[in-house]
Chains A and B, each alone.
Chain A
Amino acid sequence: MQLIDKRVNPAGKSLPNRQRFLRRARSIVRKAVRHASVERGIRELDGGGVVVVPASGIEEPHFHRGQAGRAQHVLPGNKEFLEGDRLPRPTGGASAGGSLAGQGEGEDQFSIVLSASEFLDFFLEDLELPRLERRKLAAMKADGVRRAGYSSTGSPANLAVLRTMRNALARRTALNRPRSSEIIELEAALDAAQARGDEQACAAMRLQLEGLRARRGAIPYIDPIDIRFRRFEVNPRPVAQAVMFCLMDVSGSMTEHMKDIAKRFFMLLYVFLNRRYEQVDVVFIRHTDEAKEVDEETFFHSRETGGTRVSTALAEMARIAAERYPLDSWNIYAAQASDGDNERGDNMQAVTLLRDAILPICQYFAYIEVGEPDHEPAMSSVWKIYENLGEVGPAMRRVSTRQEIFPVFRDLFRAHNADATS
């Protein structure tokens, strides 16, 4: 017998099979993921985890008997039966029923453990960042500088010494510039000849020495044509960071339910942006009749009283964006949640701010109007004024139940070329 230690054998041999399976079960898994996402907190969305998939779409059929017909079963564990006893037929389910009913139909569903990225892939499938082409792509780029070879002109600070010397050496070799060692040798030989008093040799050597010196003078050690400079060129680099502004009305009319819906929408947006940018900053701005930047905890959980002035939040956002998030290095996204109330006198100001200060700097501005589940949505004042902005205005949706959030989110971010597969 031979014992072989194969522990180094890599794990994950089944990975291709798993991928094949997921591809096969794609539509089913996708549905299950969507379903799971309604039930779990959106914070947990990032974690992947277990989804339950009905076995129906991925069965492997084979011939087997439905009802066994007239069948005999040999069973262990007889305690009280005598030959000829008659037993009631078990009604399926527990104990002997399952076994007596034959093979059983197999499990109706089973669970799949998805990794975080698999989960999000399914979750965010066929969504894409909206309207980038309209909000000019240049905003997605920032200028960077990178090395681009050598040039014969440039500033002395960029002198490429190595390259220059290499060119000089090549030129000197090609033009056969006499080395100083040759001249020194010849001078030594001349001295020796003079000491010997060999005039004829001295004359020849002097002539040769003169030639060498003249040649050395004519061919410079470094010529301007040898000089090279490091060359740089400007290249556009996509901005890999985004900031997401969450604006929310926290006046007394916003109930916990509305806040919960708003929160879920914000978190979805966060997850979505996180997939596409290296870094995502989140700024929380809440407002009543004045706006304040707060941390997440305060944003969602503390309650304020007072009137409602939307324009204050917009102004605060514009201020923060101008201060901390320069357009050339940040992509700006904003989502506003509100129950739609606004003080009458503030409407004009809000529209002006939105149109002139906010929308031009934003990649995307979504407005979510939250409501109570059993209320018929009325035409709110914020909705009305935002709607008047028409095509350039923000993307707007109404949400009143938790279940609607994901469809609305998908609706807002649906890929332009997405087909009807979802």
Chain B
Amino acid sequence: MTSIPDAKAPAGEVVLEAIGLTKHFPVRRKLRDLFSNRKDAVHAVDDVHLTLRRGKVVALVGESGSGKSTIARLLAQLYPRTGGDIRLHGETTRVKGGSAFRRYCSQVQMIFQDPFASLNPTHTIRYHLTRSLKIHDNAGKTAEDLENALTELLERVQLTPPERYLDKFPHELSGGQRQRVAIARALGAQPEALLADEPVSMLDVSIRLGVLNLLRDLRDRLNLAILYITHDIASARYFADETMVMYAGRMVEGGDSETVTQSPAHPYTRLLIDSAPDPDRLAGASEAEGKDAGNGEPPSLIHPPSGCRFHPRCPAVMDRCKTDLPVPLEIGDAPGHWAACWLYDGNKEVAP
């Protein structure tokens, strides 16, 4: 097979699902803990539900340490999960390595943050892409097939003319070009889902949008399901169909991007949006506000706060928040918009 079929299945089909996904990293025990039964763990991700559909981009927004990258790595099966389930096309998958991992990889590919580190400096672009094609059995039978596939890959990521880039080394390319090569390498496996972990945060500002537009174009042409992890909620609004907000290892709000960014429901999402730089708010105008909200730090994930994890920082905190874990509740302003916050108690609970 030399040419990559453009659309394999209808849009909207569920490709990858996370159900109650949980990951705890054990903490090294101190000597005095040896005699107790205490087992500390970093609660990196707790009870996360996530659905990736064909032809849709889901953005995962949160501050550093909120567990966004852990989710990507769990979904890529790079970490074993502590609890919950990952379903690929509705089937539970748990792979540890070997051919099962490779089969999984050929459907779910990851793009890493730093294209300066994710390409091997001693190999050419041709080598990187050839490996990807051969390992996933997409290289065809003859040398000519391979050459065609390579050309097609580079054209897909708009590195044209392909001959100019094939025999270059990574250091000869700019950051944006390198990230395009990394994307091409992921496409070499003909995946159905792409997990993009902050794909543009290491790139120069003027070329970020080029890469995002490319990913969006690929979503439309190849009908890919894309998970876009970012800390920049404005780019989530620009690029993603659906946005989920994470705080301290838990999902706090989700819905379509426009609703989440324009009428945020959860106090944390509001804080995040109010904190984003806004050129319309010129120097001097911004000092009065933001005093009451958001002072304080994200909590320790070894002993996360009881109840809602945001309650120590929340401006709208109630007694109940300190003891009861909020369930996802429907907001009702737009279909699919939910927030895990007791402010909306009384609204219908969203089925996970």
A binds B: no
> A residues touching B (Cβ–Cβ < 8 Å)?
none
